[in-house]
Amino acid sequence: MRNLRLLRNGGCRPAAATGTPQCFCLGTEPGTVLVGSQHGLVELGSARDEVTREVDLTVEGFMPEDGSGCIVGIEDLPEQECVCVATAAGDILLCSLSTKQVECVGSVDSGLSTMSWSPDQELVLLVTGQQTLIMMTREFEPITEKQLHQDEFGEGKFVALGWGKKETQFHGSEGKQAAHHKQMEVSPTSAWDDGRPRVTWRGDGQFVAVSAVCPETGARKVRVWNRELVLQSTSEPVSGLEQALSWKPSGNLIASTQEKPNRHVVFLEKNGLLHGEFTLPFQKGQVKVNELLWNADSTILAIWLEDLQVDNSNPNSYVQLWTTGNYHWYLKQSLHFGSLEEYQLVSLLWDRENLYRLHVLCQGWHYFFYDWHWTIDHGMGENSQHMANVAVIDGDKVLVTAFQHAVVPPPMCTYELQLQQAVNQVAFHTDPKHSGDMAVLDADNKISVYRYGQSTTSDPTVRLGAVGGNGFKAAVETPYLDKTYRVDVGSSNNGVMNPLGLRFLTWLSDDSFLVVGQGQDAAQSVLHHLTAVPHETEAEEQRLSLRFSVPVDGEVISLCCTPATKTIALQLADRRILKYVWDASAPILEPWRSSSGCAVQFPYPCMQASITRIGDEEVILGLTDRCRFIVNDTEVASNITSFATYNEFLLVTTNSHTCQCFCLKNMPLKDAERKSGDCSPPSSGSCTDSEVARQVFLENAENFIRQIDTVSYINLFFTELKEEDFTKTMYPSLNGSSKAQSYQHPDQKKVNLICDVMRVAMENIDPQKYCLSILTAHVKKSPPELEIALQKVHDLRENNTPDVKAVSAEEALKYLLFLVDVNELYDYSLGTYDFDLVIMVAEKSQKDPKEYLPFLNTLRKMETNYQRYTIDKYLKRYTKALGHLSKCGPEHFSEFLNLVKDQNQYCEALKLYPPSTQEYKDISDAYGEYLVQKQLYEQAALIFARAGIFAKALDAFQDSGSWQQALCMATRLGYTKDKLSSLARSMAGKLVEQRKHAEAAILLEQYTEDYEEALLLLLEGALWEEALRLIHKYGRLDILETNFKPAILEAQKSQLIFLCSQKEAFLRHKSRLQVVRELKEKACESLQDYETPNCPELDLFSETSSVVTASDMSSKYSHSNSRISVRSSKNRRKAERKRYSLKEGSPFEDIALLEVLGENVRAVETVKGDIHILLKQLVLFGYNEQAGTLQQVLEEVLQLVETSIPEIWTPHLQQSSVNPVLGPSSTANSIMAAYQQKRMMTPVVQDPELLIPPKLNKNLQWKLHLLQ
C-alpha cells in the first residue's frame, strides 16, 4: 500500500553544447553524465549548467563533420579511466576525457547497430550491420561471433514425452475443435518500429537477451544467449511483439510490449515462454512504447511512451513508473514532457548506486534526474469516523481503504476516486477534525479536493470497492469532489519545462496549500504558499494564486507539519532543519532550535520525519532508510523500521518484529532518548499487581470454575495457556517504575501450576461434569500426563455409571483423540501394558485390525516380564526394557547383553545385577571394550579392575599412562620378578617418549635395579638434584666427572644460546612493530582528512549497507559457474594457525608481531626456574664464571622485556581488548564514536587476549646473590 513520493529533482542545460544528443550513460564521478552527439563526447555536471569536459571526434575523423554521424553505444570504464564509444560506422573508440586522446581499438566494416556491456563490465556484445553478434572481452579480444538469426531453438529446447496425439489430448474450455485449429500467423512489426536490435543483460551478467526482427516473418523474436554466445532459447511466436526489451535484474522475467486492442506489457521467461502481462492505459494506435527499464532492485518498471496520432506537430512524450503487488500492477507516477521538440526524450537510465534515481535526457540538451522514495499516504485525526484512511495511487485512480471500517487486502479497497489524469501526489487534510479529506495532485498540475459530509448526492467519480455489492447497503461514508484547482506554479522555471515541478503537497487549511518547487539554482528550493482565488462564475475549475514564495537555501528533501502550533519542519539535503510558521502574516523561515537554543541538524538524512512533544519541548523525530531513529540531533536507536505518533504516544516497530509504545506526556527528553536507545520492552510497572492477581486466581480457582461453569469455555481456557507473562510483553506498564517481584512458585511452570490447581478444584466440585476439562488439564501440562489421562478413560469404561449426565468412556476417548495424535496415544496406551485400553484406542484410529490384533495376541501369550520387555523395546524405552528382561532368567542374558551393546545402556545394565555375579562381570567386560574403542583407556581400566578382569585392566592402564596402576595389576596377576622388570623397562621407554624422565628413572631404579640407566635419564631430563641424590646413594662419585659436570656445562651453553636468540628476535620484532604502527597511523589520518566525521559517507564504517546496487546483483547467479570450495578440518586448523602473517605489508602484521612478541616473553619467563636450579649446580661445582655469565644474560633479557611491555602493549591497546570496537556487543553508535576518536587504528582481532600483555612472575627469586 505504498506510493512513490518525489524526494528531490534537478538537472542542467549547458549553453555551450552543440549538436543533438543521441545517447548517454552515467559517469564514474557522482553527479556527472556522459552524452554522445553527432560531434563527439560531452560530460555534463548536474550541479552547474555547463560542459565540464568534452572530446571532439570529428577532429580525428571518427565522425563526419557534416553532423551525419551517429553514436550507437557509450559506456564509462572506470578501471581503464576512459569511455568506450561505438559509432554506427563500425568504430570502437576509447576516449580519455582528461587527456582528450582517442584510440580506435577495433572496427567493423559492416557498421554497428548496438553495443552493450555486461553488468560486471567483463564482456561487451556488438551487433553488426550484417546481423551478427560479436562477444568480446573487456580487453576487446574476440570470444566468438554468431549469426543473430538462428534456425534452432537453443540448448533449452523442450523435450517431447510422446503423450499421444494432439487430437486425443484435453483442450479445456476450447473443446476438441481446438485440436484442428491452425497455428495463428504472426503479424510483422509495427510501422513505427525502428528495426534496430535491442540487447538486455540479466542482472548477474550470465545471460543476455537480444530482440531482433526476423527477416522471414518481419516479426520480432527474442533469443537468449549465454556468456560464451551459445544460444539457450528462442521466444515462442508472439504476434505484434515490439522493440522495447528489459531483463528484470532479479533474473526471472524479461519485459517487452505487444500490440493488442489495449497496448500490453508482456513478460517472457528465460525459456522463451510468455508469463504474465498488464495493460497500459491507452487505446490501440494511440501511443508507442520506445523503451522499458527496470531499476536495480527490480521494484520499479519505467516506461517511455510517445503519441502516435500527431498532425503537423511533435508527439507528446511520457515516462510512467509502474510497481506491482499482490499480482496487480500500479501506475505510481506519470511524467508528461509535452510536445516541444527540445523536450523530446533521447534516453533515460536508472542509477546503479541510488536505486530510486531516474535520469532523463532530452533533445534540447535538457538533463533531469528524479529521486524517489517509498511512503504511505494516510490520514490521522480526532474524528474516529474518518481516521485510518490509506490512499494508494493507481494511475488515474486513488484506491482508499478505510481501516476503521474494513480491512481488505490490496488491490481491493473500500472505495476509489476516479480522476481525469494520472495521479502523482495525495495529501490528507492536516486539520485533525477533517483528517479524511483529501487533495489529489495529478500530472496536469490540477488539485482535486474531496471532502466528507456536506453533499447529499452521490459523486459519480467515487465508486465503492470491496465493501459494495448488489443488494447490500454500504455502512461506510464516501467523500465527494468539492473543488478542482489549477496550479500555475512549478510547471516551468525560467522557460524550462520540468515535469513534477511541485512536490511535498501539504493541505494547510480549507483553501490553502503548501508545495515545494525548484529554485533558480540546482541547490535551491522554493516554498510556495498557495491560496484559492475568489471566483465570480460557477466554473468547475478554480485557480490557486501564489500568496508568497519563500526561497530556501538548500534542497528540501522532506516536510512534516503539526496543526497544533501551525508549524512546518523542513529537512534540507545537508540535514539542517528549518521551521516555517504558515499562519503568520509574513513568512517566517528560521532554523529549528532545541530548548538549549542550538540549531538542530540530523546526523543522517531521514526519509520520514514527524513533529511531536516530549515533555514540554517540541521536537522533531526522524527515521533513516537504515533504521536509525533520531530525536532532534541525537540518534537514539538503530533498529527501528517504522514509527508513528498519536497524541502523547510514540509507537515504533523494530527489526526483531516487535511493536513498542512509549508515553511521551510526562517524560523528559533525556529519558526519552535513554528509553529508546536499545528499544527493548520497558520493564512492567504492573508486575507487582500481576503477582498479586496470579496468587488471588490460584486461591479462588473454584470460584473461577463455578462462574464460567461451561465445560467448553474451561477447555478453551486451558488450550490458550502459555508460559509467557503477558503483563510484561503484551501489556507492559507505561511508567516502567516498579520492579517485578520474584515468582511465588519457582519450581513449577506457570501452565503446570494452573493446570494442577484447576484440576484439583474441578475434582472437588464435580469430577463427572468436568471430566473432559480434567483430561485437558492432564494433556496441557509439560510434559503431557497422557498415561494418567488414559487411565481415567479406562476407569470410566470399567465403572459404567447409570448417570445420563456423566461422560462415557467413548466420549472421553474421542475428545482425547481430538487433543492428541492417535498414533502417539496408541503408543502411550501400549506403554500401560493394559491391552483392553490399547484395543479401545486402536479402534478409534485408522489402524488396520489385521495388523495390530495379531501383534497384541502374540504379546498376550508371552510371560509377563518378557511381554513388558517386548513392549518397551517396541516403544524404544530401553531402560525399562532392560529392567524387565533382567527378570526373565539367565536363558535370556545373551539377548540382554546384545541389547545393552546395541543401545549403549551399560550403566543402567550394571545397576540391575550384584557385583559378585557373572552377569555383572560380563557386562563390565563389554563396557570396558566399548570404552577402549572410544580411547577412554583409564575409565576402561577402572571398569576392568573393578570386575576383576586384571589382564585387560593392565593393558588399559598402560595405554592410559597410569604406570602405578599397571604395576598394581601386574602384582594381582602374580608377575615374576623378571616379568615385572621387563614390564617396568617397557613402560619407562614410553615415559621417556613423553619426556617424563623422573617417572621413568623411578621405574628403572626400583623395578629393574638399573640405577646407572636411571642416572642417565635424570641427566637427560635436567633433573640435577635427583641425579645427585642417586649418585651419592650408590656411591658412584666417578659419575660426577664423567657425566654430571659435562652435562651442566652443556646445559649452560644451551641456555645462553636460547636467551641470546630470544633477545635478538624480541628486538627485531619490536622495531618492526613500531614501523607498522606509524604507517597505520598515517593512513588513518589521511583517511580522516579525506572524509570528515560529520560526512554521511561514514555510514559505511558503522554498518554494512543494505542498498542493493547493480554490481551487487551481478553476484546473485554466480554460483552457476563458480567452484565452491569447502575447507577440511585439517585445512581449517592450518588456516587458524596462519591467521596472522609476519610477512611485511600483510593486513594483520601488527597482530602477528604482538603474537610472536608474547611468545618470546612467555618463553623467557618459563626458563627462569630451570636456570635457577642450573645456577645452583654450577656454583656447587665451582663454575662461578659460567654461572655469572648465565645469570647476567638472563637479567638483561628480563629487564629488556619489562621495560618494553608498556611500549608494546599500550594502555590504549589493553582498553580495546576490554571494550572492542567491533564485536557482538558493539553498536553503530559505538563504532562511529570509536572512529571519531581515532580508535579504528586499533587492530580488529578475533583473539582479544593478544592485546593483553603477558604477566611476569616477580615472586620467583631466581637470582643467586653470591654471584653479584
Q: Are 790 and 825 in contact (CB under 8 A)?
A: yes
SS3 590: strand
**Statement: residue 336 has pLDDT above 50:** yes
Mean pLDDT of 457-462: 84
Nearest to 288, CA basis, from 268, 308, 273: 308
Nearest to 881, CA basis, from 893, 890, 873: 873
Query: Tens of pLDDT along 153-188?
Result: 888 776 655 555 555 656 565 566 655 555 567 888
- Specify the pLDDT at position 1082: 83
- Specify the pLDDT at position 63: 87
**Statement: residue 1241 has pLDDT above 50:** no
Compute the Cα dihedral for 376, 380, 386, 387 and give only its sign. positive
- Specify the pLDDT at position 719: 86
What does the longest C-alpha to C-alpha distance in the chain come to?
137
776: cell is 485437558
Q: What's the CA gap between 948 and 348, in Å, rounded?
A: 91
Mean pLDDT of 44-58: 78
Q: What's the CA gap between 942 and 939, in Å, rounded?
A: 5
**Statement: residue 216 has pLDDT above 80:** yes
Q: What's the CA gap between 333 and 423, in Å, rounded?
A: 7
Q: Are 635 and 629 in contact (CB under 8 A)?
A: yes
Q: For 44-48, 690-694, 1128-1132, which range has the lowest pLDDT when averaged over its residues?
A: 1128-1132
- Specify the pLDDT at position 448: 92
- At residue 1105 the predicted structure's pLDDT band, cuts being 50, 70 and 90, is very low
Q: Are 773 and 718 in contact (CB under 8 A)?
A: yes
- Specify the pLDDT at position 176: 60
**Statement: residue 301 has pLDDT above 90:** yes
**Statement: residue 940 has pLDDT above 50:** yes
Q: Is the pTM of this model over 0.95?
A: no
Cα angle 823, 824, 826; round to 5: 65
Cα angle 997, 998, 1001; round to 5: 85
Cα angle 381, 382, 384; round to 5: 95
- Specify the pLDDT at position 1100: 35
**Statement: residue 278 has pLDDT above 70:** yes
How long, in residues, is the chain?
A: 1268
3-state secondary structure 352-388: CCCCCEEEEEECCCCEEEEEEEEECEECCCCCCCCCC
Q: For 23-37, 679-693, 1166-1180, which range has the lowest pLDDT when averaged over its residues?
A: 679-693
* DSSP letters spanning 1225-1262: T--HHHHHHHHHTT-TTS---S-GGGGSPPPP--S---
**Statement: residue 1247 has pLDDT above 70:** no
1033: cell is 646413594
Q: 411: cis peptide before it, omega within 30°?
A: yes
- Specify the pLDDT at position 84: 94
Q: For 51-60, 315-324, 1135-1144, 1151-1160, which range has the lowest pLDDT when averaged over its residues?
A: 1135-1144
Q: Are 507 and 469 in contact (CB under 8 A)?
A: no
Better-predicted residue by pLDDT, 1059 or 689: 1059
* DSSP letters spanning 64-95: -TTS---EEEEEEETTTTEEEEEETTSEEEEE
Query: Tens of pLDDT along 879-919?
Result: 988 888 888 888 989 999 999 999 899 999 899 899 989 99
524: cell is 535551491
SS3 1200: helix
How far is the first Cα of the chain from the last one, in angstroms, to the nearest whole number?
88
Beta strands in 269-350 (DSSP E): 274-283, 287-294, 301-307, 317-325, 328-338, 345-350
- Specify the pLDDT at position 1118: 38
Query: Tens of pLDDT along 750-765?
Result: 888 989 999 999 999 8
Better-predicted residue by pLDDT, 1156 or 680: 1156
Mean pLDDT of 705-715: 87
Q: Are 337 and 345 in contact (CB under 8 A)?
A: yes
Mean pLDDT of 109-114: 92
Quick one: CA torsion of 489, 491, 492, 498, rounded to 10 degrees?
140
Q: Are 70 and 58 in contact (CB under 8 A)?
A: no
Q: What's the CA gap between 629 and 1044, in Å, rounded?
A: 77
**Statement: residue 1139 has pLDDT above 80:** no
* DSSP letters spanning 497-550: E-TT--EEEEEEETTEEEEEEE-SSTT-EEEEEEEEPP-SS--SEEEEEEEEEE
**Residue 771: which residues within 8 A CB-CB, separation 6 or more?**
792, 796, 806, 807, 812
- Specify the pLDDT at position 1095: 42
- Specify the pLDDT at position 685: 37
Q: What's the CA gap between 733 and 663, in Å, rounded?
A: 10
Quick one: CA torsion of 431, 434, 440, 445, rounded to 10 degrees?
-50
- Specify the pLDDT at position 133: 94
- At residue 382 the predicted structure's pLDDT band, cuts being 50, 70 and 90, is low
- At residue 1166 the predicted structure's pLDDT band, cuts being 50, 70 and 90, is confident
Q: Are 65 and 78 in contact (CB under 8 A)?
A: no
- Specify the pLDDT at position 689: 47
- Specify the pLDDT at position 819: 86
SS3 406: coil
Query: Tens of pLDDT along 625-654?
Result: 899 999 988 899 999 999 998 888 899 999
Q: Are 247 and 1113 in contact (CB under 8 A)?
A: no
What is the residue whose three cell numbers read 490520514? 379
Q: How confident is the prediction for the chain on average, in pLDDT?
A: 82
3-state secondary structure 636-681: EECCEEEEEEECCEEEEEECCCCEEEEECCCCCHHHHHHHHCCCCC
- Specify the pLDDT at position 268: 93
Mean pLDDT of 591-615: 89
Cα angle 218, 224, 225; round to 5: 120
Mean pLDDT of 109-130: 93
Query: Tens of pLDDT along 1107-1121?
Result: 333 334 333 333 433
Query: Tens of pLDDT along 516-555?
Result: 988 777 778 899 988 888 765 555 678 888 888 888 988 8
Nearest to 1222, CA basis, from 1240, 1209, 1210, 1238: 1240
User: Angle of helix 1024-1033 relative to helix 997-1007, nearest 10 degrees?
Assistant: 10
**Statement: residue 1233 has pLDDT above 80:** no
**Residue 676: which residues within 8 A CB-CB, separation 6 or more?**
629, 631, 636, 637, 652, 662
Q: What's the CA gap between 976 and 904, in Å, rounded?
A: 38
- Specify the pLDDT at position 806: 79
Better-predicted residue by pLDDT, 593 or 1223: 593
A 10 A CB-CB count for 122 gives 13
962: cell is 597410569
**Statement: residue 959 has pLDDT above 80:** yes
**Statement: residue 494 has pLDDT above 50:** no
Mean pLDDT of 377-398: 82
pLDDT above 90 covers a percentage of the chain that reads: 27
Q: Is 756 exposed, middle or buried (0-12, 13-18, 19+ CB in 10 A)?
A: middle
